[in-house]
Structure 1
Amino acid sequence: MEWLSTENLVAVGTAVLGIAASAGMLWYDRRVPRRKRIGYRVQMDSPIGDEARSGRPNPRLGEFDVPVMADATLVLLRIENDGSQSIVATDYTGPADQPHGLTAEFAGRTIQAVSVTQPSGIEHLTDHFTAERGFRYEGNRVYIPRVPLNPGHHFKLLVLLSGGEVEGGVRLIGGLQDGAVHRNSAARPDEKPRLFSFPARLFTALLTLAVLGLAGIIVFRDGNPIECEQGRLTVTGSTAFEPVVETLARQYEDKCQGADIAVETRGSEEGVAELSRLGERSEDDARSVIAFSDGPMGERWGLVGEPVALSVFTLVVHPDVDLGEHGLSLRQVRGIYAGEYTHWGQVLPGREAIDGLPVVLVSRGDESGTRQIFQERVLRGWEKAPSTSLDCAPGPAGGAVTRCELATTRDVLDKVAEQPGAIGYSELGLAEQRGDAVREVPLDGDRPDDEQIERGGSRYPYRDVEYAYTYGARRPGSLAAGFLAYLDEATSQKVIRDKGHLPCLRDPALCG
């Protein structure tokens, strides 16, 4: 099934991972840290007497006034509130008849002396370490009073022991209401606490993996259809818009298994006319065709159109025809296509480089949207010069101007680049791809600049809206509807722009 694609499974999996990590973090934040907790850790357990049982060397300087020197050890025990709630005397769960709250036990050793230290700022804890409050030691146990501790507060016991091995068993015995007493790992020598707990680090890592996974899908995939549809679709119509639809069709097929899109462009008018004829024979067949048109051609056949881009076109000439920065005036262009000039010296007198160079009109057939826009926006009428040649070769001097008609925009560009004195018209993006093989022609000094047109700072006339026509309204769930929706994706909008058009699905005013 389509939704079981690898990309979808990765996306769903990373999303579930992110949700699970968030839920776990919420549970941990709500349940675990908010319990009352006392943690303890052994920060030092070292021999200080001769011939310690650990067998490790114990060099010393000076005199130590310690009983049973040979077996003496020092233990530094840190006791801390590592929860998020304060602990008071009544939170300890020891017997009511016993004043102490906790017991520190040192297995196999005998306590000789105990010293209590606490950080600066909480010296008041010293007041709780009195015999009346249960502070004492006996055998291998130190009895610790019910010391109140705010979150993060701690105190330390420095215990002098004898009669046992170094790093023997040390534990803290006791309990808390709605809480726990637990052992922590030993601190680093600098006693710097970790910024985040292990669960917090784990959940953060899981969330990071989820975010990176989803970001990878977004960044590295090519195209992002809103919904993948299956079936067969034929895209026809404008040859000027062919580079866009060809690229987007291949991207859609790559992303959507089961989608087969054939691009068969043959001219705007022929495309919309063919769609209309197909609809008269079979509505179902017509529903699987989209016809793109340079300009609004489909309304006359009752087709449903949608503007998708603003296309900019340009006149092009052979590189030998240097018309200068101003290019041609609209009056000169209309005279050229009316057959008034047979050589370029008549158009621009006094220019020796083009004097005597024959004018060759390389046109499209009357089914071409590029030609129809040229006639409507630039000529304000028909191309009046008749077609005189099949191969665009100039006729004898003194005869009528040479004019030929070719099938596609690419054919026109090829011929203009090949034939000295040739002039034709093309979609701007395709012309720009030819580089120096052809010259773009400004009209009345306005260059075919799509950026200036988008900013509204150009009067350049040779432009029109590209329409996508369907036979009736889109059918939800059809490949035609899916492909047209794909045109509105950010990656598709970039393709439209890269191919020399201005996308207007997200900026309808641009195509208004």
Structure 2
Amino acid sequence: MEWFSAENVIAVVTAVLGIAASLGVLWYERRVPRRTRIGYRVQLDTPVSSAERSGRAGVRLGLFQENPQLSELSDATLVLLRIENDGSQSIAGDDYTGRELHGLTAEFTPRTIQGIAVTAPLNADHLLDHFTPAAGLRYTRDTVFLPRVPLNRGVHFKLLVLLTGGTVGDPVRVSGGIRDGGVFPNRSTTPDDIPPLFSRASRLITVLLTVSVVALASIVVVRDDTRPPMGCERGELTITGSTAFKPVADELAAKYEHDCAGSRVRVEARSSGEGLQELDERGAAAKGGSPALIALSDVPGTERQTGLQSSQVAVALYTLVVHDGVPRRDLTTDEVKAIYRGDVRRWNELRGVPEDYDLPIVLASRKSGSGTRDIFERTVLGGDIEEAYSSPDCETKIDPSAKVFRCELDSTARVLAKVAATPGAIGYTELRSGSTAKGVHTVSLDGRIPHPDTIAGSDYPYRGVEYAYTYGSPPTGSLVSSFLNYLLRGGGQEVVRKHGHLPCSMSEAGAICAPDPAEPADRTQ
């Protein structure tokens, strides 16, 4: 199922972690009472001789200068004990619950205490005022009694103890009673570290949330945001018909196959007329079925093809193209009509063409049944039909008496190739194909230049509607139905626009795509 995608799973896990963390914090705040806690740890436990060698002799001499003979004792050790408030509440003097004057005891059994000193950080040096005999500071053979020192959260003091007997590493234990809390050993990686800002559980949740969010963001960044066609279907489909629309059909087929695994779309463009005829014949042979075939056509089907169902795809622009050597980039509609009637047969008979450009005008035309030719005859020639062809290859004229030097070709690609290879040749093509071919250039009509950005607002005449035909209504859930939706309403619309056409689904194309009731129905013969 598409729901179980990587980004969806990570998004759900991230959301669950966030909700769990929020509920956990809320529960903790409501259910878990605020704790008072004193923590302690041994930060130094070393022989006195080692302290001297490591530079700590000054501490020893300053603290025990009245007993210089202690430096000669082979078993003398120094212990530095850190005691701190590492709970969530401040501790006042009356929070110590013992009945004795002192608040805490520090035991060093089996070693014997020879002397003590107390230090505090600069920002808490006021604590030293509490360490007096009157407040309860004293020591016995193996125990130090510490006063009821008030400690704000995170504040600490240190106890430096000189010991004899025993060995380095003998246990040290601090005990005492604290209201709503207790005294516990804690750990540190450095002698003067700072208590962590977050608890271990908080750090774990933060790490998990961060990893989840980063993973989700990575998927969003690198994934392909192109949405697959609506209702992808498997199977095989053939697209036939218009050769002018073939570049669009090729890209549509490749993109649909990429987005929809298990589909195969072949493009077999011939001409609009041949495509409609093949669709009509295969549909009739299917006896009520709908073949896996779509015919793209530049013109409507004939009245005899009653089983065909059309969908308007896009407005397409066409243009006249001439060999690059022809020195004209604009022709009037009257000049074009005269050329295709045979009234003008050589280029130097036209205005603006030098006398020495004395080449015959060679018409590279499409065969009957071509939608591009049909639109050219209706919109540019004013309904006139092109003269009969007089050359099989646009190189030799088989009938010297013919009014025009004209050959017929079966595809847009062959027209472009022939015009590019034949000096003095002229032809017509779909605009996008003509704008990218080498060896030819386009010509405007009556000063009107065809451009994809001005299809709707221009009065440029050589344009028409591209149709997609199926035999009857394709079954729901079929590849034909899915591809048709993709072409008319889905991701295929971007491909159509990319090739310079205006989709009929867009509002500005409405007036052009609307059928003309006065237009003859039979346009493919």
TM-score range, shorter chain: 0.7 to 0.9
Distance in 1 separating the partners of 2:91 and 2:408 = 101
C-alpha spacing 1:175/1:189, structure 2 compared with 1 (3 Å)? closer
**Paired residue type of 2:156:** K
Which structure 2 residues correspond to residues 105-120 of structure 1 after superposition, within 5 A? Answer: 112=116
> Normalising by the residue count of structure 2, what TM-score does the alignment of the two structures yield?
0.73
Give the alignment partner of residue 48 of structure 2, picking from 41, 47, 50: 50
Which structure 2 residues correspond to residues 466-505 of structure 1 after superposition, within 5 A? Answer: 466-487=466-487, 492-498=492-498, 500-502=499-501, 504=503
Q: Which residue of 1 aligns with 2:522?
A: none
| Residue pair 1:233, 1:261 contacting (<8 A) in 2 also | yes
Distance in 1 separating the partners of 2:263 and 2:206 = 45
Q: How many residues align?
A: 479
Q: Which residue of 1 aligns with 2:426?
A: 423
C-alpha spacing 1:72/1:216, structure 2 compared with 1 (3 Å)? same
What's the offset of the Cα at 1:497? 4.1
**Paired residue type of 1:155:** V
Q: Which residue of 1 aligns with 2:460?
A: 460
What's the offset of the Cα at 1:445? 2.2
Structure 1 window deviating more from structure 2 (255-264 vs 36-45): it is: 36-45
The answer to whether 1:253 aligns with 2:284 is no
**Paired residue type of 2:483:** F
What's the offset of the Cα at 1:323? 0.4
C-alpha spacing 1:277/1:47, structure 2 compared with 1 (3 Å)? same
Q: Which residue of 2 aligns with 1:232?
A: 236
Q: Secondary structure at the match of 1:74?
A: strand
What's the offset of the Cα at 1:494? 4.7
What's the offset of the Cα at 1:96? 8.1
C-alpha spacing 1:298/1:58, structure 2 compared with 1 (3 Å)? farther
Q: Secondary structure at the match of 2:240?
A: strand
**Paired residue type of 1:251:** K
Q: Which residue of 2 aligns with 1:202?
A: 208
Distance in 2 separating the partners of 1:159 and 1:28 = 39
Give the alignment partner of residue 267 of structure 1, picking from 268, 271, 281: 271
C-alpha spacing 1:334/1:27, structure 2 compared with 1 (3 Å)? same
CA RMSD of aligned residues (A): 4.8
Distance in 2 separating the partners of 1:170 and 1:429 = 89
Q: Which residue of 2 aligns with 1:337?
A: 340
Distance in 2 separating the partners of 1:99 and 1:483 = 91
**Paired residue type of 1:305:** S
What's the offset of the Cα at 1:169? 7.2
Give the alignment partner of residue 26 of structure 1, picking from 13, 19, 31: 19
| Residue pair 1:42, 1:78 contacting (<8 A) in 2 also | yes
Distance in 2 separating the partners of 1:99 and 1:503 = 95
Q: Which residue of 1 aligns with 2:10?
A: 17
Distance in 1 separating the partners of 2:444 and 2:250 = 29
Give the alignment partner of residue 276 of structure 1, picking from 272, 275, 280: 280
Which structure: larger Rg? 2
C-alpha spacing 1:337/1:29, structure 2 compared with 1 (3 Å)? same
Q: Which residue of 1 aligns with 2:414?
A: 411
C-alpha spacing 1:183/1:241, structure 2 compared with 1 (3 Å)? farther
**Paired residue type of 1:443:** L
Gapped regions of structure 1 (runs ≥ 5):
none
What's the offset of the Cα at 1:415? 1.0
| Residue pair 1:362, 1:423 contacting (<8 A) in 2 also | yes
Distance in 2 separating the partners of 1:13 and 1:297 = 48
C-alpha spacing 1:401/1:506, structure 2 compared with 1 (3 Å)? closer
What's the offset of the Cα at 1:424? 0.7
C-alpha spacing 1:336/1:57, structure 2 compared with 1 (3 Å)? same
Between the aligned residues of both structures, percent identity stands at 29
Which structure 2 residues correspond to residues 40-189 of structure 1 after superposition, within 5 A? Answer: 45-46=43-44, 50-52=48-50, 57-61=54-58, 63-66=61-64, 70-76=76-82, 79-80=85-86, 87=89, 112=116, 139=143, 154-163=154-163, 165=168, 186=189
C-alpha spacing 1:367/1:384, structure 2 compared with 1 (3 Å)? closer
The C-alpha deviation readout for 1:465-509, integer Å capped at 9, x for no partner, is: 3232223344332112332344479864554344x3335276343
| Residue pair 1:337, 1:383 contacting (<8 A) in 2 also | no
Q: Secondary structure at the match of 1:64?
A: helix
C-alpha spacing 1:236/1:398, structure 2 compared with 1 (3 Å)? closer
Distance in 1 separating the partners of 2:472 and 2:176 = 81
Structure 1 window deviating more from structure 2 (411-420 vs 337-346): it is: 337-346
| Residue pair 1:315, 1:440 contacting (<8 A) in 2 also | yes
**Paired residue type of 2:366:** R
The C-alpha deviation readout for 1:113-145, integer Å capped at 9, x for no partner, is: 55666969xx9x98xx999xx998984797988
**Paired residue type of 2:205:** P
**Paired residue type of 1:426:** T
**Paired residue type of 2:206:** A
Q: Which residue of 1 aligns with 2:370?
A: 368
What's the offset of the Cα at 1:321? 1.0
Structure 1 window deviating more from structure 2 (463-472 vs 415-424): it is: 463-472
The C-alpha deviation readout for 1:431-485, integer Å capped at 9, x for no partner, is: 23323x11111222233322x326x664433233323222334433211233234
Distance in 2 separating the partners of 1:106 and 1:472 = 98
Q: Secondary structure at the match of 2:233?
A: coil
C-alpha spacing 1:64/1:405, structure 2 compared with 1 (3 Å)? same
Gapped regions of structure 2 (runs ≥ 5):
512-525
Distance in 2 separating the partners of 1:252 and 1:441 = 35
C-alpha spacing 1:185/1:45, structure 2 compared with 1 (3 Å)? closer
